[in-house]
Every structure is written in C-alpha cells, then in structure tokens.
Amino acid sequence: MNAISKSLEAANEVRVGVRELRGKLTEYLREASLGKSVLVTSHDTVIAEIRAPSVQTQMPREPGALRGKIRMTDDFDTWPADMLAAMEE
C-alpha cells in the first residue's frame, strides 16, 4: 500500500472510543452511512468497525406476494351504530 492510498484510507476512517461512541452514536452512524468507516477503540485497540453495508441488504418488494393471504371480514366497513350516531351529532 503506497502513501497516497494510506492517506485516502485514513481520510475515510474515524477512530472513536467506546465512551464517546455511546454519547454520539447518531452522529457516527450518520458518518458511516455517508461512506466513512468508524473504528471503535478500547485502550487504543480497534475492537469494532461500523460502516455502511457493501450491498443492499433489503430484499426488493414483490408486487402481489401476499395475494390470497389477506382476508377481510364481511363487516369490515360497517360502522357500529353508536359510533355512527356520535359522528352525526
């Protein structure tokens, strides 16, 4: 690894202690989502790395996947008499 790639890698990394991470978790998660690598340290030793996932982890939606699996009761859109009367007052 040459000096240029080391400096580019360092520019995309943030080192943070466990205590500071707990206090500013949202801030560091935001940085990770923007492409930075957050290195979590304990006693100057890296113990974890937080970064954005390298691939999309959510499965794409499949239209019609629940077709036939959701049922509505016959009285689904029938209002109880007392609620209907309260709305008409």
Which pLDDT score is estimated for 22? 95
Domain CATH number, residue 40:
3.40.1620
Which pLDDT score is estimated for 48? 95
Which pLDDT score is estimated for 5? 44
* Spatial CA neighbour of 13 closest among 38, 49, 33, 30: 38
Residue 69 lies inside a defined structural domain of this protein:
no
Q: Write out the chain's pLDDT in tens, 89 residues.
A: 554 445 445 678 999 999 999 999 999 999 999 989 999 999 999 999 999 887 767 778 889 888 899 888 888 888 888 888 888 87
Which pLDDT score is estimated for 38? 95
Reduced to 3 states, what is the DSSP secondary structure of residue 45?
strand
Task: Write the CB contacts of 85 (distance below 8 Å, at least 6 apart in sequence).
Answer: none
Residue 75 lies inside a defined structural domain of this protein:
no
Residue 49 lies inside a defined structural domain of this protein:
yes
Total domain count for the chain? 1
Contact indicator for 80, 86 with CB cutoff of 8 Å: no
Residue 41 lies inside a defined structural domain of this protein:
yes
Residue 24 lies inside a defined structural domain of this protein:
yes
Residue 4 lies inside a defined structural domain of this protein:
yes
The boundaries of the domain holding residue 49 are: 1-53
